[in-house]
């Protein structure tokens, strides 16, 4: 038979335990939450990098990326050269009412034009307004956090290694030319 009042004592113990614990209630929207750096909020577009290759739109499992473009002719860089044509972006929109945040578009973009932003305050009362156009996607680009620093022991990225080697080669060439010029000047001085 339960001791009279034991239920009350148990209840009070739970209350006391809870009162002394740190509260986990988030005071949003008065206090912004601290999100993990790789949070998937929205997708930002860095349109300068976009070549309108259409890979993201083709790979999106929800077909919720809409891209329009037109071709422009770029005149030859030098006389006698060949004209080139390039794609110019007219529209880039993502329908976030369909997007399932899989990240495939970001993974497949070969030109680093799409990024995850932790921004999450884009609720709308009308579902049609969840299709966001390039201006909005560009605005979100500025909320993308910086990539984490490389591991100190990580292999040097190929692009940086190639750029460093090219710079070293150019510096060696310049030093050799300067040394040759100095030697020639000295030889001329000795002849006089």
Q: Does 50 bind ligand SF4 (CB under 6 A)?
A: yes
Q: How many residues bind ligand SF4 (CB under 6 A)?
A: 25
Q: Which of 42, 44, 93, 94 binds ligand SF4 (CB under 6 A)?
A: 94
Q: Does 141 bind ligand SF4 (CB under 6 A)?
A: no
Round to whole Å and give the CA distance between 37 and 145.
7
**φ, ψ of residue 167 in degrees (nearest 5):** -65, -40
Q: Which of 9, 12, 16, 102 binds ligand SF4 (CB under 6 A)?
A: 102
Q: Which of 42, 93, 99, 141 binds ligand SF4 (CB under 6 A)?
A: 99
Q: Does 93 bind ligand SF4 (CB under 6 A)?
A: no
Q: Which of 9, 14, 16, 100 binds ligand SF4 (CB under 6 A)?
A: 100
Part in contact with ligand SF4 (CB under 6 A); list of ranges 110-118, 123-131, 154-162, 167-175: 110-118
Q: Which of 41, 62, 136, 138 binds ligand SF4 (CB under 6 A)?
A: 62
Q: Does 137 bind ligand SF4 (CB under 6 A)?
A: no
Q: Does 88 bind ligand SF4 (CB under 6 A)?
A: no
Q: Encoding tokens for residue 173?
A: 């060439």
Give, as one character, the DSSP assignment of residue 185.
H
HEC profile of 18-72: HHHCCCCCCCCCCCCCCCCCCCCCEEEECHHHCCCCCHHHHHCCCCCEEEEEEEE
Q: Encoding tokens for residue 116?
A: 């995850």
Round to whole Å and give the CA distance between 159 and 165.
10
Q: Does 65 bind ligand SF4 (CB under 6 A)?
A: yes
Find the shortest distance in angstroms from Cβ 127 to ligand SF4: 16
DSSP 97-132: TT-----HHHHH-TTS-EEEE-------SSGGGGEE
Binding positions for ligand SF4, rule: CB under 6 A = 50-56, 60-62, 64-65, 67, 94, 99-105, 109, 111, 113-114
């Amino acid at each position: 038979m339960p001791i009279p009042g034991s239920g009350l004592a148990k209840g009070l113990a739970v209350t006391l335990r809870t009162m002394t614990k740190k509260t986990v209630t988030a005071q949003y929207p008065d206090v912004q939450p601290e999100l993990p750096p790789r949070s998937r909020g929205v997708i930002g577009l860095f349109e300068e990098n976009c070549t309108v290759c259409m890979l993201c739109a083709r790979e999106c499992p929800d077909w919720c990326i809409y891209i329009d473009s037109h071709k422009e002719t770029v005149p030859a860089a030098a006389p006698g050269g060949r004209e080139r044509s390039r794609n110019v972006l007219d529209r880039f929109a993502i329908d976030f009412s369909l997007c399932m945040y899989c990240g495939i578009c970001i993974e497949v973009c070969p030109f680093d034009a799409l990024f995850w932003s932790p921004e999450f305050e884009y609720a709308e009362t009308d579902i049609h307004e969840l299709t966001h156009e390039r201006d909005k996607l560009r605005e979100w680009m500025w909320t993308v956090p910086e990539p984490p620093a490389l591991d100190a022991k990580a292999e040097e990225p190929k692009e940086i290694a190639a750029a460093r080697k090219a710079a070293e080669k150019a510096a060696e060439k310049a030093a050799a030319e300067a040394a040759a010029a100095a030697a020639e000047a000295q030889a001329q001085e000795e002849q006089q």
